[in-house]
Structure 1
Amino acid sequence: MEDFFDSEAYSKIDFTKIKIKKGEYDNCTFSNCNFENVHASNIQFVECEFIHCNFSNAVVKDTAFKDVRFINCKMIGVKFNEVNQFLLQINFIDCQLNFSSFYQLKLSDTKFKNCNLEETDFTETRLINAVFDNCNLQGAIFDQTDLEKSDFRTASNFNINPQQNRLKNAKFSRNTIDGLLLNHKIIIE
Structure 2
Amino acid sequence: MNLPYISDKTFKSTNYSTDHLLQAEYDNCTFINCDFSESHISNISFIQCVFIDCNFSMVKAKNTSLQDVIFDNCKLLGFPFHDSNSFLMSMTFIKSQLNLSSFFNLQLKNTIFKDCKLEQTDFTNVNLSGSSFDNCDLYLTIFDNTLLEKVDFTTSYNLSINPNNNRIKDANFSKENALGLLTIFQINID
TM (norm. structure 1) is 0.99
Q: Which runs of 4+ in 1 moved over 6 A?
A: none
Distance in 2, matches of 1:155 and 1:179, equals 11
Q: Deviations over 1:57-91 (max 9, x none)?
A: 01111000000000000010011001101110001
Alignment of structure 1 residues 6-155 onto 2, 5 Å: 6-155=7-156
State the secondary structure of the residue aligned to 1:81. helix
Question: CA separation in 1, counterparts of 2:84 and 2:116?
Answer: 20
- Give the equivalent residue in structure 2 for 1:160: 161
Within 2, Cα distance between the matches of 1:91 and 1:23?
Answer: 22
> 1:119-140, CA deviations, whole angstroms, 9 ceiling, x for partnerless residues?
0000111100110000001011
CA displacement at 1:19 relative to structure 2: 1.1
Q: Distance in 2 between the 1:73 and 1:183 partners?
A: 32
Structure 1 gap ranges (5+): none
Q: Which structure 2 segments of 5+ residues have no match?
A: none
CA distance in 2 between counterparts of 1:147 and 1:2 reads 36
Alpha-carbon distance in 2 for matches of 1:64, 1:38: 16
Distance 2:161 2:175 in 1: 15
Aligned length: 189
Q: Which AA in structure 2 matches 1:132?
A: F
Q: In 2, distance between residues paired with 1:172 and 1:140?
A: 16
Look up the SS of the partner of 1:139 in the other structure.
coil
C-alpha separation between the residues in 1 aligned to 2:9 and 2:36? 17
Between the aligned partners of 1:80 and 1:128, the Cα distance in structure 2 is: 18
Q: How far off is 1:15 after superposition?
A: 0.4
TM-score, normalised via structure 2 length: 0.98
Q: Distance in 2 between matches of 1:41 and 1:51?
A: 20
CA shift digits 1:29-51 (9 cap, x unpaired): 00000000000000000000000
Summarize the alignment of residues 165-180 of structure 1 with structure 2, pairs less than 5 Å apart: 165-180=166-181
Matched, 1:184 2:185: yes
Distance 2:161 2:96 in 1: 22
In 2, Cα distance between equivalents of 1:110 and 1:188 = 32
What amino acid maps onto 2:44 in structure 1?
I
CA-atom RMSD in angstroms: 0.6
